[in-house]
Structure 1
Amino acid sequence: MNEHLTLTVNGRDHVVEAPVTTPLLDVLRNHLGLTGARYGCGLEQCGACMVLVDGDTAYSCSREAGTLEGRFIVTVEGLATDGALHPLQQAFLDEQAGQCGYCLSGMLIAAKALLDRNPSPSRAEIVAALDPNLCRCGAHPRILRAVSRAAGMLRGEVCNGY
């Protein structure tokens, strides 16, 4: 049975008509047109569907939309503000951190959560934060450099990554 759900996504309230058990990923992609989070495994094993919920990473493939009313959800689309890329997005471009790009939205979300908690992470901390996200292309060295570069950019430093 469909219900009216009010979800706060990327700073805006959205009313969606869907069963409360609908996965958040389905609501984001099919009801709100936010396709940055991707369906990978559906089992919380790949990170392609990752979003932020109240600042913490969450797998949108398994979170029921009905449990998220009153929570603040951020997707990869919500990282950019006023048409300007977030420093993480810019750093990923600068480091050419994407290859096929399927994992990148989850990587960006995980990196955002890390940098919000720790603006000066070590390489080991970056690796640990990104560990839940699978990348089969072999772009990990560039991704690590991009997160390091973004941390420096957010601190106002010139940073060339690791």
Structure 2
Amino acid sequence: MNFRVISLPSFKAVSSGLDKNFDFSENGVLGKFNAYFSKIKPQPADNFSPRDYLYFDEQQGGMVWIYALTDYVDTEDFETFDFDGGLYITYHYKDGDHEGNDCLYKEVLKWVGKSELFELDKRENHYSMGHIITPQEVIKAQGFAQMEAFVPVRLKTE
């Protein structure tokens, strides 16, 4: 298995809200949220990565972008909720390589299906997510980014 199993802590999150149009433009739901959280400068103790996650809400049929809050961050007009955290299987791929992502995602599903320890843990606000892991200066230099995918799982004994 070339995947990692990690644990994300629970946290208070600010959300873009649902976007059924997948609109990352300047005036779109996701574009406005990107502009909002991109201007946040966490204090050194809070500057862990990743703080933002993008996922497809399967129940409502749209994209949602969330950001892990700290006590001093203004949420402006964005809604907040408690993110449960949990176990995730992660892998990475070139951002925009949908075929590569689909292949790796299917490998994860196959592995989880055969696992004696893990099962998928999809539920409201707890879906497969992605996060760009490449620093902006590297993206600019090489011309592309890498995306890390997070697939929610739980131990079968839970």
TM-score by length of 1: 0.28
- State the TM-score, normalized to the length of structure 2: 0.28
Bigger fraction of residues in strand: 2
Whichever structure has more helix as a proportion of its residues is: 1
Structure with larger RCO (C-alpha < 8 A, sep 6+):
2
